[in-house]
């Protein structure tokens, strides 16, 4: 270990900018020792991960994205390399030594974003992802072509692995569905939560009494099943609530509930959230918003109501975590640039149109949904220890004309535009159209007077 | 050719010397061309058969006098086609769950001429599969030649059909069956260990190694080839549990715990027993193969399974099996296909799957799109079109005969014109892989079974 440290120091000296994150791997190479032992320690805290990794072969699977501009929490790391081992990131930096047997994807001149996370989806993965996903499905293919690498699907979570089930199923999301759409339901919920709260209090008192050595009676825990068990998880803070609420009235009722019982909630919709952003922020409520969700205001109501394109921006300003999801969480072939997951980054661009910063808009389709789904330790950013999920594009991901070139999931190329039949002909990579300015080669309507002729 | 000719000469001489009055007579058939499929083509060629079996194939074979001679003139002779998956003319029904003890053989209550449609298309043998999803039972291979059901059977029970096109239900059933088999093996080993402990108190000492259960299988419950039962009979695992064995129990021998019928084939499979059935896995799409591989990751196949990779539906020519060509080729799987040019899903990109698979190293066999007279009538022409699109002649001919016979499990009897195999062949008015070639005669057991009435 000491020797390794010396070499580490030497290496840091030579490379000048090597960060501590990069050390575990280059060390092993410099020492001419088998790399795995060192690197294993580096990402062992990953826990249960990588099913099937052990049974194949002992050689680690290295994968590197070399030379791209890597998005790192609001900044761009130019000419950087992202190195993954067995699907996990082990190094991000400009001086990363790539093992000789690594699969290298040269992305010089491209931007590398973390893989997108869709808070909810329909039809992309199976209802029981591990047992029914079509891993060569058209929807899956198109979701990958959009840059999505992780989805929530109902109560399930899944990585969009292409052609393999390894690392596909992420199990259940840590969300408890509650319904507050009617006064009677709210009253019922209040009662149930109060019951669980009383139980938690009594058991705490009993535990304290026992600690003092006194006789104490444990409260009856038989009822803690089904919804009550879920409510206990809510109240102790291990899970968040998932609520569908759009109107200011429902949102206000929810803030009262969360403040009274001290649990955290994720609101899907929150169309009128912009009218009470401060209240939502103080109540610690997170929002999954749809910037293009239109709801005309009711002129008979005195208070501000209806939709606003500024919804996401206002909420974000007031400290509300905002994730963005299109109106329809499926993949739809009908219509033009519709409100479905095919235009997922575009939805975030609409939030920018409403005043959200670009970084916040990117977070709203990557790390924020990951956090709300309880998988921020695995996906959402390009950090050491997380899964190597990346979207590689030329230009700005949130621009409506940008096409995804590669999508990487678990350190495997899951989508390559040049090899996929669907979009390979649009601005072909390394083809004649590649370096033309975008407006010249974007398909236009035939007889528009000032439109230049389309190549091919 | 010379060696085969000399061999056949020797054989003919042998036959001649042993010829007695009650011996079955020699049959000699000459044709302008004889396509053996397994070896070379003879033009002109001849076949010598005795007792329905091929004695010699060659260009010129000396035959003793008295042999029954047929001259087919300008016609072409090739082995009879084999339908590896059919329910021609049989009734449909639904069957679900693990029903591996069912046999399609009990359904053969058909008119003597029920399979004339197959016969007239040149099909000499057909594997009739049991209807249903999940694990509906074992197939039966029959002759298409009119006759009593019992005389027709070539192989019973045949392959074990595994429906794997409706996930997750199918996957659950197969996984359950494999798990039950694992448990049954574990249970038996435990019982064996206990029995050894009881009977041999010194078994624990070194030197007294416990005997391995060498190839001895526990008794099955119920008769293996019982009387016909209605196909809808609810026979589930343990249904026969109530039966009590009347045979006296021999306490000096180890009596393994009984294995339920529904589990027995999988126990054989896991033990790599010779009696283990070959699985016939019906996939719906490429993804299903990935799921199948996941379920069977631990299984070491005594015989690789046969895969059926059909187009999306009988009305659609879409397919996505080209995505798993590499995986199928790696293991040189035997794959059944519809003989048609397919298109990649949602595109007009043409795929000659048969060609891709055979080039990758797979054995390909054909199943007509329509399991009816029209489908079988068009079979030769359909395959001819594939040849026009790049499929090799060898793969096309084998796909109709030898590989189809292998899929059905009767490659030792049928599928090619080789010494020792059955003298079942078809006579065509031209090359089989020329558009418009028609089957004019079908010979089964060296007897003319059918002749086209109006010859061109």
ipTM: 0.81
Contacts of residue B211, Cβ cutoff 8 Å, sequence gap at least 6: none
Closest alpha carbon within chain A to B324: A163
Peptide bond into B157 cis (omega under 30): yes
* The total number of residues written for chain B in this structure: 456
Lowest mean pLDDT among A35-44, A238-247, A431-440, B189-198: A35-44
Lowest mean pLDDT among B21-30, B208-217, B287-296: B208-217
**For residue B455, what pLDDT is reported?**
57
Of A104 and A451, which is predicted with more confidence?
Answer: A104
Nearest to A421 among B168, B291, B344 (CB): B344
From chain A, the residues in CB contact with B320 under 8 A are 136
- Distance CA(B176)–CA(B172), nearest Å, equals 6
Of A74 and A199, which is predicted with more confidence?
Answer: A199
- 3-state DSSP assignment of residue A156: strand
From chain A, the residues in CB contact with B285 under 8 A are 134, 136
Cβ atoms of B47 and B34 within 8 Å: the answer is yes
Interface of B with A in 113-132 (CB under 8 A): none
**For residue A448, what pLDDT is reported?**
46
- Percent of chain A residues topping a pLDDT of 70: 81
What does the pLDDT look like over B313-327, one tens digit per residue?
777 889 999 999 999
What confidence category does residue A339 fall into, taking pLDDT thresholds of 50, 70 and 90?
Answer: confident
Going by C-alpha positions, the residue among B368, B316, B324 that lies closest to residue B342 is B316
Q: CA of B285: how far to CAs of A159, B288, B356, in Å?
A: 20, 6, 16
Cβ within 8 Å, pair B287-A164: no
**For residue A37, what pLDDT is reported?**
38
Residue B272 touches partner A, C-beta closer than 8 Å: no
Domain boundaries, chain B: 1-80+416-456, 81-172+271-414
Lowest mean pLDDT among A52-61, B117-126, B240-249: B240-249
Q: Kindly report the pTM of this predicted structure.
A: 0.83
- Sheet of B33-35, strands arranged across: B41-42, B33-35, B76-79, B425-428, B439-444, B447-451
What confidence category does residue B207 fall into, taking pLDDT thresholds of 50, 70 and 90?
Answer: very low
Name the β-bridge partners of B29.
B47, B70
What confidence category does residue A235 fall into, taking pLDDT thresholds of 50, 70 and 90?
Answer: very high
- Distance CA(A439)–CA(B120), nearest Å, equals 62
Of B365 and B313, which is predicted with more confidence?
Answer: B365
- Write down the CATH superfamily of domain B1-80+416-456: Urease, subunit C, domain 1 (2.30.40.10)
- Min Cα distance B171 → chain A (Å) is 7
From chain B, the residues in CB contact with A419 under 8 A are none
Nearest to A138 among B297, B345, B349 (CB): B345
Evaluate if residue A78 carries a pLDDT over 60. Answer: yes
Of B147 and A151, which is predicted with more confidence?
Answer: A151
Nearest to A136 among B285, B297, B346 (CB): B285
What does the pLDDT look like over A103-130, one tens digit per residue?
999 999 999 999 999 999 999 999 999 9
Evaluate if residue A453 carries a pLDDT over 50. Answer: no
**For residue B331, what pLDDT is reported?**
94
From chain B, the residues in CB contact with A128 under 8 A are 168
φ and ψ at B4, to 5 degrees?
Answer: -70, -35
Evaluate if residue A451 carries a pLDDT over 90. Answer: no
- Min Cα distance B346 → chain A (Å) is 8
The owner of tokens 């190597």 is: A388
Nearest to B290 among A126, A164, A421 (CB): A164
How big is the CA angle at B318 (ends B315 and B322), to the nearest 5 degrees?
A: 145
Of the ranges A4-8, B105-109, B441-445, the best mean pLDDT one: B441-445
Domain boundaries, chain A: 116-171, 175-379
Mean pLDDT, to the nearest integer, of A284-306?
93
**For residue B316, what pLDDT is reported?**
81
How big is the CA angle at A433 (ends A429 and A438), to the nearest 5 degrees?
A: 105
Residue B349 touches partner A, C-beta closer than 8 Å: yes
Cβ within 8 Å, pair B347-A421: yes
The chain-wide mean pLDDT, for chain B, equals 84
Nearest to B168 among A131, A138, A164 (CB): A131
Using a CB–CB cut-off of 8 Å, the residues of A that contact B are 52, 55, 126-128, 131-138, 163-165, 421-422
- Distance CA(A122)–CA(A367), nearest Å, equals 20
Residue B345 touches partner A, C-beta closer than 8 Å: yes
From chain A, the residues in CB contact with B286 under 8 A are 136
Nearest to A165 among B285, B290, B349 (CB): B290
Cβ atoms of A268 and A251 within 8 Å: the answer is no
Lowest mean pLDDT among A97-106, A370-379, A395-404, A445-454: A445-454
Cβ atoms of B443 and B424 within 8 Å: the answer is yes
Closest alpha carbon within chain A to B318: A138
**For residue A412, what pLDDT is reported?**
96
From chain B, the residues in CB contact with A52 under 8 A are 297
Lowest mean pLDDT among A8-17, A100-109, A149-158, A242-251: A8-17
**For residue A434, what pLDDT is reported?**
60
How big is the CA angle at A19 (ends A17 and A23), to the nearest 5 degrees?
A: 115
- Min Cα distance B350 → chain A (Å) is 11
Cβ within 8 Å, pair B287-A133: yes
What confidence category does residue A440 fall into, taking pLDDT thresholds of 50, 70 and 90?
Answer: low
From chain B, the residues in CB contact with A138 under 8 A are 345-346
* The total number of residues written for chain A in this structure: 456
Cβ atoms of A110 and A392 within 8 Å: the answer is yes
- 3-state DSSP assignment of residue B280: strand
**For residue B108, what pLDDT is reported?**
83
**For residue A335, what pLDDT is reported?**
61
φ and ψ at B106, to 5 degrees?
Answer: -75, -10
From chain B, the residues in CB contact with A165 under 8 A are 290-291, 294
DSSP B429: S
What does the pLDDT look like over B19-38, one tens digit per residue?
444 567 899 999 999 999 99
**For residue A12, what pLDDT is reported?**
43
Nearest to B287 among A55, A137, A421 (CB): A137
Interface of B with A in 157-196 (CB under 8 A): 167-168, 171-172
From chain A, the residues in CB contact with B291 under 8 A are 131, 135, 165
**For residue A101, what pLDDT is reported?**
94
Mean pLDDT, to the nearest integer, of B155-167?
93
- Percent of chain B residues topping a pLDDT of 90: 63
**For residue A277, what pLDDT is reported?**
96
**For residue B296, what pLDDT is reported?**
95
Q: Quick one: B91 exposed, middle or buried, by C-beta within 10 A (0-12, 13-18, 19+)?
A: exposed
- Min Cα distance B437 → chain A (Å) is 37
Tell which CATH architecture fits domain A175-379: Alpha-Beta Barrel (3.20)
What does the pLDDT look like over A127-171, one tens digit per residue?
999 999 999 999 999 999 999 999 999 999 999 999 999 999 999
The chain-wide mean pLDDT, for chain A, equals 85
Peptide bond into B448 cis (omega under 30): no
- Min Cα distance A279 → chain B (Å) is 44
Cβ within 8 Å, pair A131-B172: yes
Nearest to B323 among A55, A132, A136 (CB): A136
What confidence category does residue A27 fall into, taking pLDDT thresholds of 50, 70 and 90?
Answer: very low
Residue B285 touches partner A, C-beta closer than 8 Å: yes
Which of A52, A134, A138, A139 is the mutation pick for testing B, counting most B CBs within 10 A? Answer: A134
What confidence category does residue A338 fall into, taking pLDDT thresholds of 50, 70 and 90?
Answer: confident
The owner of tokens 């329809």 is: A328
Lowest mean pLDDT among A193-202, A437-446, B110-119: A437-446
Class of the CATH-defined domain B81-172+271-414: alpha beta
Nearest to B168 among A132, A137, A164 (CB): A132
Evaluate if residue B236 carries a pLDDT over 90. Answer: no
Closest alpha carbon within chain A to B345: A138
**For residue B17, what pLDDT is reported?**
44
Closest alpha carbon within chain B to A422: B347
Evaluate if residue B70 carries a pLDDT over 80. Answer: yes
Mean pLDDT, to the nearest integer, of A312-334?
92
Of B147 and A153, which is predicted with more confidence?
Answer: A153
What does the pLDDT look like over B344-359, one tens digit per residue?
887 788 899 999 999 9
- Distance CA(A132)–CA(B166), nearest Å, equals 8
**For residue B18, what pLDDT is reported?**
45
Evaluate if residue B11 carries a pLDDT over 60. Answer: no
Size of interface A-B (CB pairs under 8 A): 42
Cβ within 8 Å, pair A136-B286: yes
Evaluate if residue B379 carries a pLDDT over 60. Answer: yes
From chain A, the residues in CB contact with B344 under 8 A are 421
What confidence category does residue B372 fall into, taking pLDDT thresholds of 50, 70 and 90?
Answer: very high
Cβ within 8 Å, pair B290-A163: yes
- Percent of chain A residues topping a pLDDT of 90: 70
- Distance CA(A387)–CA(A380), nearest Å, equals 9
Cβ within 8 Å, pair A421-B349: yes
- Min Cα distance A429 → chain B (Å) is 20
Residue B440 touches partner A, C-beta closer than 8 Å: no
What confidence category does residue B13 fall into, taking pLDDT thresholds of 50, 70 and 90?
Answer: very low
Evaluate if residue B198 carries a pLDDT over 90. Answer: no
Residue B346 touches partner A, C-beta closer than 8 Å: yes
């Amino acid at each position: 270990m000491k020797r390794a440290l010396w070499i580490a120091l030497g290496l840091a000296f030579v490379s000048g900018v090597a960060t501590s994150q990069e050390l575990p791997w280059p060390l092993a190479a410099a020492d001419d020792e088998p790399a795995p032992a060192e690197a294993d320690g580096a990402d062992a805290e990953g826990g249960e991960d990588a099913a099937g990794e052990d049974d194949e072969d002992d050689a680690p699977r290295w994968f590197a994205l070399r030379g791209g501009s890597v998005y790192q929490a609001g900044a761009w790391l130019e000419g950087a390399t992202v190195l993954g081992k067995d699907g996990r990131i082990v190094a991000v930096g400009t001086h990363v030594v790539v093992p000789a047997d690594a699969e290298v994807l040269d992305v010089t001149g491209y931007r590398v974003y973390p893989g997108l996370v869709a808070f909810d989806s329909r039809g992309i993965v199976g209802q029981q992802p591990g047992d029914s996903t079509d891993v060569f499905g058209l929807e899956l293919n198109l979701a990958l072509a959009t840059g999505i690498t992780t989805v929530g699907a109902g109560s399930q979570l899944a990585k969009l692995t292409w052609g393999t089930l390894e690392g596909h199923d992420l199990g259940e999301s840590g969300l408890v569905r509650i319904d507050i759409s009617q006064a009677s339901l709210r009253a019922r919920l209040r009662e149930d939560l109060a019951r669980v709260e009383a139980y938690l209090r009594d058991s705490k008192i009993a535990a304290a009494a026992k600690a003092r050595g006194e006789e104490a009676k444990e409260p009856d825990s038989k009822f803690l099943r089904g919804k009550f068990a879920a409510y206990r998880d809510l109240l102790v803070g291990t899970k968040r609530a998932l609520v569908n609420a759009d109107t200011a009235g429902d949102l206000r009722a929810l803030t009262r509930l969360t403040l009274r019982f001290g649990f955290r909630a994720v609101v899907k919709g929150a169309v009128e959230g912009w009218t009470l952003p401060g209240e939502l922020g103080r109540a610690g409520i997170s929002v999954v918003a749809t910037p293009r969700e239109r709801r005309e205001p009711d002129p008979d109501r005195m208070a501000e109501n209806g939709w606003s394109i500024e919804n996401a921006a206002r909420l974000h300003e007031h400290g509300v975590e905002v994730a963005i999801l299109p109106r329809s969480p499926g993949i739809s072939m009908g219509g033009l640039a519709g409100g479905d997951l095919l235009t997922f980054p575009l939805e975030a661009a609409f939030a920018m149109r409403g005043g959200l910063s670009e970084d916040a808009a990117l977070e709203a389709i990557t790390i924020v949904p990951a956090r709300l789904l309880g998988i921020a330790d695995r996906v959402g950013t390009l950090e050491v220890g997380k899964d190597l999920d990346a979207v590689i594009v030329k230009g700005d991901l949130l621009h409506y004309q940008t096409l995804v070139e590669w999508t990487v999931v678990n350190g495997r190329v899951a989508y390559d535009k040049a090899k996929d039949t669907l979009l390979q002909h649009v601005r072909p990579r390394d083809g004649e159209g590649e370096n033309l300015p975008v407006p010249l080669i974007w398909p236009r309507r035939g007889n528009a007077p000032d439109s230049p002729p389309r190549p091919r | 050719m010379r060696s085969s000719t000399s061999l056949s000469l020797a054989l003919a001489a042998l036959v001649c010397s042993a010829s007695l009055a009650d011996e079955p007579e020699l049959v000699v058939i000459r044709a302008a061309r004889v396509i053996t499929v397994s070896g070379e083509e003879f033009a002109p060629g001849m076949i010598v058969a005795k007792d329905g079996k091929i004695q010699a194939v060659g260009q010129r074979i000396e035959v003793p006098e008295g042999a029954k001679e047929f001259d087919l003139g300008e016609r072409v002779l090739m082995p009879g086609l084999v339908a590896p998956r059919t329910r021609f003319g049989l009734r449909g029904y639904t069957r679900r769950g693990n029903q591996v003890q069912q046999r399609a053989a009990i359904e053969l209550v058909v008119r003597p001429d029920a399979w004339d449609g197959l016969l007239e298309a040149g099909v000499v043998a057909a594997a009739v599969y049991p209807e249903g999803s999940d694990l509906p039972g074992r197939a039966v291979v029959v002759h298409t030649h009119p006759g009593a059901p019992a005389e027709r059977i070539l192989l019973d029970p045949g392959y074990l059909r595994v429906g794997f096109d409706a996930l997750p239900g199918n996957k659950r059933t197969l996984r359950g069956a494999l798990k039950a088999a694992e448990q049954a093996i574990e249970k038996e080993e435990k019982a064996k260990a206990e029995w050894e402990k009881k009977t041999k108190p010194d078994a624990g000492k070194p030197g007294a190694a416990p005997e391995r259960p060498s190839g001895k299988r526990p008794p099955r419950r119920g008769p293996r080839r019982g009387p016909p039962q209605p196909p809808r009979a609810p026979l589930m695992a343990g249904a026969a549990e109530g039966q009590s064995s009347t045979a006296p129990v021999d306490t000096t021998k180890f009596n393994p715990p009984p294995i339920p019928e529904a589990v027995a084939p999988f126990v054989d499979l896991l033990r790599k027993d010779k009696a283990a059935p070959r699985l016939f896995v019906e996939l719906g799409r490429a993804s299903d193969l990935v799921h199948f591989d996941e379920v069977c990751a631990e299984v070491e196949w005594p015989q690789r399974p046969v895969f059926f990779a059909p187009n999306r539906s009988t009305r659609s020519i879409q397919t996505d099996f080209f995505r798993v060509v590499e995986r199928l080729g790696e293991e040189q799987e035997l794959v059944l296909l519809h003989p048609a040019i397919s298109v990649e899903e949602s595109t007009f990109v043409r795929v000659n799957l048969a060609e891709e698979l055979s080039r990758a190293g797979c054995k390909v066999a054909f199943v007509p799109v329509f399991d009816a007279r029209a489908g079988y009538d068009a079979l030769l022409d359909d395959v001819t079109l594939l040849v026009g699109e790049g499929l090799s002649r060898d793969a096309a001919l084998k796909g109709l005969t030898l590989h189809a016979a292998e899929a059905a499990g009767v490659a030792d009897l049928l599928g090619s014109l080789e010494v020792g195999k059955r003298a079942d062949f078809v006579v065509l008015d031209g090359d089989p892989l020329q558009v418009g070639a028609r089957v004019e005669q079908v010979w089964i057991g060296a007897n003319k079974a059918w002749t086209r009435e109006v010859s061109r």
